[in-house]
Amino acid sequence: MVISPSEYIKKCLKIDFDNSVENIIDTGASIIIFEKGTVPIEMGEMINCFYFIIYGLVRGYYIDDDGNEVTKCFVYENGFFGSECYRTKDTSTFFVDCLEECKCIKFPYFLIQKIMSIDQRVNQLIHSMYLNEIGKLEDRTRKLLLLTAEERYIFFCKEYPNLQRRLQLKYIASYIGIKAASMSRIRKKLKNQI
């Protein structure tokens, strides 16, 4: 049985739509599968859609002046990516890489605008999701600035216990702001504590 984009959203976000919103979603949104290793968003690219992840895991990352990848974020089931260009009206400042096969719902920006203007609950949901993301960013910034490397790793493991098993150590190290070699030492030291 094929499930429509609106049915996925209703199930994942536990929201109900009226028929007109369902029709808008189902005619304007599409389900897309990205293979592992696909880069759906390139730095410098102007995109015009959000992606809502049904299953899978992506990593957002920057390239620093020395050519190193610096992990910005991870997004997984029931999360979304692709909002930067919507917010800034400019090109993407980072890459998004599929670390696993990803099944996503692709929402063109104009579709989101249309739905938000019709359904106040969707407007509130998107507003709430943005506030949640801002809160996560503020929390991460505080931890990067104030916690030790060990404390950041412990927090990551507690905050994302399932994600930890799905990621290569180098990505976790980059995300918490340490070198891969330091990550190995920290893991060894904390092996029995986490």
For the chain, which residues make up each domain, given as ranges? Answer: 5-146
Structure tokens at 71: 């992990």
Tell the CATH topology of 5-146: Jelly Rolls (2.60.120)
* Site of tokens 């905050």: 159
pLDDT at 99: 98
Reduce the DSSP state of residue 73 to 3 states and report it: strand
> Residue 129 — pLDDT band, cuts 50, 70, 90?
confident
More confident residue, 98 or 119: 98
- 85 pLDDT tier (thresholds 50, 70, 90): confident
**Mean pLDDT, residues 76-94:** 91
Instruction: List CB contacts of 22: < 8 A, sequence separation 6 or more.
Output: 4, 6
| Whether the Cβ atoms of residue 41 and residue 93 lie closer than 8 Å to each other | no
The strand pairing partners of 49, in sequence order, are 108
Residue % of the chain over a pLDDT of 90: 66
Under 8 Å between Cβ of 86 and 107: no
* pLDDT band, residue 18 (cuts 50/70/90): confident
Q: For the chain, what percent of residues have pLDDT higher than 70?
A: 98
**Higher pLDDT among residues 184 and 193, named by residue:** 184
| pLDDT greater than 90 at residue 31 | yes
What whole-number distance in Å separates Cα of residue 77 and Cα of residue 105? Answer: 11
pLDDT at 70 over 80: yes
Band (pLDDT 50/70/90 cuts) for residue 194 is: low
Plot region of 56 (φ>0 → left; ψ -120 to 50 → alpha; else → beta):
left
Asked if the model's pLDDT at residue 122 lies above 90, the reply is: no
Integer Cα distance of 7 and 21 in angstroms = 11
How much is the pTM?
0.90
**AA letter at 12:** C
